[in-house]
Every structure is written in structure tokens, then in C-alpha cells.
Amino acid sequence: MSVTSRWSGALAVAALALLGNLALGQAMFQPGSPTRPQLAQPGAPGSGAGQLPFNVGVLGAGAPGMGGFNPTPGGPTGVALSPMATADGSSPYALSTNPGYNPYTAATGALSSMGANPYSLSTNPMYPGGYGYGGYPYNSYGPAGGTYAGAGQLLQGFASTVTATGQFYKDIQTARIIREQSRQASLDTRRRAIEFQLWYEGVRPTAPKMLAAERATELDRARNDATDTDVVTARALNTLLGSIQKSGSLNRGPNVALEDDTLKHINVSGGTSAGGNVGLLKDGVKFNWPDGLMSESFDLPRKRLMRNLRAAVDALKDREPVPQETLKDIRSDYKAIRDRLDESVNDLSFEESIRATRFLKQLDQAIRALSDAQVQKYFNNTWNAKGKNVAELVAHMTREGLTFAPATPGDEASYRALYLALRNFESSLQAAQR
């Protein structure tokens, strides 16, 4: 036999015992109950040796019918022997007045010294309603009306325990599910945080991104809207040069021819000199000073500077380095000319001041080029713009690490022609790569 079966049997026995106790106690304290010690006459059912003294003690010696029980139904022939007597003096214990009790029914078993068992279901038709075990309104073991009896209460309690236990384990599983959902939500929050960080890094402006955007803008400007200043300063030329070099497929571009006379007036820059440009010196020291620098106050430093520049160029053509003392004098004379221009700026017109300032800037670039350790390459036809077409020119400049330098006075037309050639080649090269 399983544990569940043994528990079910024990619960059933306990329930039956409780039902019996409830019925007995309810009948003993219910007015008119047969189980309550009643007054009876000698020889009546349930009477015994001690019954008469009990009757006398309760009602007194002179009460009629005190010696026994009057079974006569109704009428004045019987006298009520208990407080439950009716107004006409009938006995509530007669068969006609107490349908729930039949003292003449054969006893099935003795429940007390009275010997009779008036509680069989056959002699109490009021069970389970009326004043039965579940219907008595003062039954504290269940609600009025007999909805639940004692055994039902026990079974209901057992069922409630089982239900509560099931709900307990259900709540535990629900809590585990909620905890797992919380963990999943935490992981989802972390994933979203990582996704946001990746998105932010993708849109956050950084130096490389800003530089790439600037280069893209410069390339678009060089392709479509380059100004004359962009051309003569070599800004647009270098932008197109960089785009062509990045393509890496010069042979896929068209054959855009270049004239030797055009390349002769194109200045290039290379080596370690920052912003060096020997444009003023490549044809010898044969340049024209602007009017704003031709006054007597500039004569001494101007003439001395011209003499030292010729000496430096002659040394480079002879494949000899420029003496450091010569470079020092050149820088000193250049500084003296620039300082005097700043002092006399109010004595010059606006155009004279602009031309003088622009010339001094080009002269400064030439002096910077003289300081380059590889400056001799400017004068031995190594660092020059050369090539029969754009592809050869770009290949030469890429191999030597050269870039275009600004134009010197008189070279502007050559720069415009080279710009158009570079733009056509770059545009055709990009179209061929699509």
C-alpha cells in the first residue's frame, strides 16, 4: 500500500470519528434532543434504576407523570416533562410531535445507559437537513444550511493544503522565470549599449574622418570648381596628382600629351625642404624685383643678396654644396629686406605692397630649397617636371617623391594648361575603374 493510500485511509477514519462526535455533541445540547437525559416514568424505554430519583430531583415529587415517559401523542392526557412542552400540555416526545425521534424503534446498539439508539438514519428523517448534523444553525463546524459537514471540512482542509503547496511551487517557478527574464533584459541592455557605442564610433567626428572629408571636398573642388588661384598655387594640381596616384592604374588612363615648353615652366618640390621652390633660381638668378623693393633703402641688402644667390647657384651647377657662410649671408640679407618692407608699407600703394609681399614669399621658398641636402637635383635635371604625357609625368613624380610647387611670375599659362591635362586624365581614369 502506498503512502498516499495510507494517508487517505487515516483521513477517512478521522473524518468519520469527527462526524460522530459532532452529531453526539450537537444532539446533547440541542433542546428536545433524545440524547439529553430526559425525564421518564418507570418501565418506559430508557428508564433505569436511577431514573426516578433523577425525575424527582428535576421536577419535584408532586409533578404528574414524573415516573416515566408519556408516549401518548398530543392532548391533555400527557404532561410536558421538559421545558420544550407545548402550550396545550402535549409532550414533544410523542411520535406525533417529534418526527425526528421514535422511542419505540428497536435499538441497533446502546449509546448510553438508556439502551435505545434513536440515531439511526431510518428513525431520523431530518438528516441531513433541518436539525441534522449539518443543518443545525448553531453548528460551529460549518455554515448554516448544511453545505459542509465535518468530514467535508477535513477533506476541504486537505485539499486547501494541497492547493497551497501547488501554488507555493508555482510561485517559485514564476519567480525563477522572472529572474531569468531579468537576466535576459540585462544582457539585452548590454548588447544595446555595445551597438550604441559602435554606432557612435561610426558617426563620431575624428581627425582621420575629418581629413578624409576635407580631401574629398578638395578633390571635388579640383575636378569642378578650381579657381585660378588654386591652379597657380599648385593646390588643384597636387589634389589631382594625389587622386591619380591612388588609382594605381596609370595605363588605364587616356594618352594626354604634354609639351616640353609647358613642363619647363612647371616648378616642383621634393626632398626635406618644407615648401622649397627653386622656381626663381632654375634659370639662373635672372628675376625682376617688384617696384616696391627698388627704392634706395633696399639697394644694399638687395645687391648683396643677388650676389650671394648667384654664387650658390654656380656652386650647385658645379655639383658642389652651398657654403654655409653664403647661406648665412643670404638669410641675413633676406631678413633685412623684409623688415624694411614692413617699415615702409605706408609709403607704398596697395598693389605695390601686395606684389612685394608675394615676391618675398617666393624668394623665401627658393632660399629654403637651397638648404635642402638634395638641392643639386633641381639643377641636374633630376627634380624637374618631365614626361611625354600625363601618365609619364605622374610616374616620374611618384618615383622621385615630388609635388608641384607654386608658379613663379610668367609661369601661370603653363600651370593652367597642365591643370586641364591632369583633370581630363583623372576623370577618364575614374570612369574606367567603375
In a domain, 122, yes or no: no
Count of the separate structural domains present in the chain = 1
* pLDDT over 50 (residue 35): no
In a domain, 135, yes or no: no
pLDDT (tens digit, 9 = 90+) per residue, 66-78? Answer: 444 444 444 444 4
Ranges 108-117, 299-308, 356-365, 394-403: which has the least confidence = 108-117
pLDDT (tens digit, 9 = 90+) per residue, 184-220? Answer: 999 999 999 999 999 998 888 888 888 888 888 899 9
> Please, what is the average pLDDT of the chain?
74
- Which one is predicted more confidently, 31 or 248? 248
- Which three cell numbers, joined as nine digits, stand for 235? 593646390
Alpha-carbon separation of residue 64 from 69, 90, 161 (angstroms) = 11, 13, 58
Q: What is the pLDDT of residue 347?
A: 87
Q: What is the pLDDT of residue 266?
A: 93
- Going by pLDDT thresholds of 50, 70 and 90, the confidence category of residue 274 is low
The distance between the two most distant Cα atoms of the chain, rounded to a whole number of Å, is 172
Q: What is the pLDDT of residue 164?
A: 93
In a domain, 238, yes or no: yes
Alpha-carbon separation of residue 388 from 186, 242, 262, 414, 423 (angstroms) = 68, 19, 11, 15, 16
Q: What is the pLDDT of residue 383?
A: 85
Q: What percent of the chain lies above the pLDDT cut of 70?
A: 64
In a domain, 376, yes or no: yes
Query: Is the Cβ–Cβ distance between 269 and 407 less than 8 Å?
Result: no
- Which one is predicted more confidently, 128 or 252? 252
Q: What is the pLDDT of residue 23?
A: 47
Average pLDDT, integer, range 229-246:
92
Q: Which of 141, 132, 37, 18 is nearest to 82 (CA)?
A: 37
* pLDDT over 50 (residue 390): yes
Q: What is the pLDDT of residue 204?
A: 87
- Going by pLDDT thresholds of 50, 70 and 90, the confidence category of residue 303 is very high
Q: What is the pLDDT of residue 282?
A: 76
- Going by pLDDT thresholds of 50, 70 and 90, the confidence category of residue 53 is low
CA pair distance 110, 48, nearest whole angstrom: 14
- Going by pLDDT thresholds of 50, 70 and 90, the confidence category of residue 157 is confident
Query: Is the Cβ–Cβ distance between 397 and 379 less than 8 Å?
Result: no
Query: Is the Cβ–Cβ distance between 255 and 389 less than 8 Å?
Result: yes
In a domain, 56, yes or no: no
* pLDDT over 60 (residue 348): yes
In a domain, 399, yes or no: yes
- Going by pLDDT thresholds of 50, 70 and 90, the confidence category of residue 332 is very high
In a domain, 84, yes or no: no
366 Cβ partners below 8 Å, 6+ apart? Answer: 276, 277, 278, 279, 280, 281, 309
Query: Is the Cβ–Cβ distance between 433 and 280 less than 8 Å?
Result: no
CA pair distance 47, 374, nearest whole angstrom: 149
Query: Which neighbouring-strand residues pair with 269?
Result: 403
pLDDT (tens digit, 9 = 90+) per residue, 7-30? Answer: 445 445 444 544 454 444 444 444
In a domain, 262, yes or no: yes
Range of the domain at 315: 212-433
